[in-house]
Structure 1
Amino acid sequence: MSDTVASTVSATRARLEQTLDAIDEKLDVKKQAGELTERVKTSYQQNPVPWIIGATAATVVVVGLVAWAIFSDD
């Protein structure tokens, strides 16, 4: 009986350790930012067209908002 309890406790501790390691990895902002950077670089290298279109659209929106703020009568 004691061996069964000890093995159950040991298995539970191992699962808990794996879970905590996974949580720690997900909450590591520096590591997650690095992985995101790598995914973005890979995506851009595979097909830059959507990134160029997105950057152009964002620029148009920002310029439009700035022009609206400057030239509006409010």
Structure 2
Amino acid sequence: MVFFAFSYSLIYNNRISKNVVWIAALLGVFLGCYFRTLSGKHFPTDVIVGGLVGSLVAVGILKLHISKRIELE
């Protein structure tokens, strides 16, 4: 979801739609993590670390591709 929201923010310039996409993405991730913890499938630390690592990987991949595209142009 962070990958989608970050990509969307790079492509579209409408500030309101960017905010809506980010809020929806983060709310979806939060609810998914909350319900996984509530059901006993994961510990709270699992979802916190997983969310942080997943977000860093998503943003890192996008930034890597953006820098490669700029070098090619």
Higher relative contact order (CA 8 A, sep 6+): 2
Indicate the TM-score class for this superposition, using the shorter chain for normalisation: 0.3 to 0.5
TM-score for the superposition, normalised by structure 2:
0.39
TM-score for the superposition, normalised by structure 1:
0.39
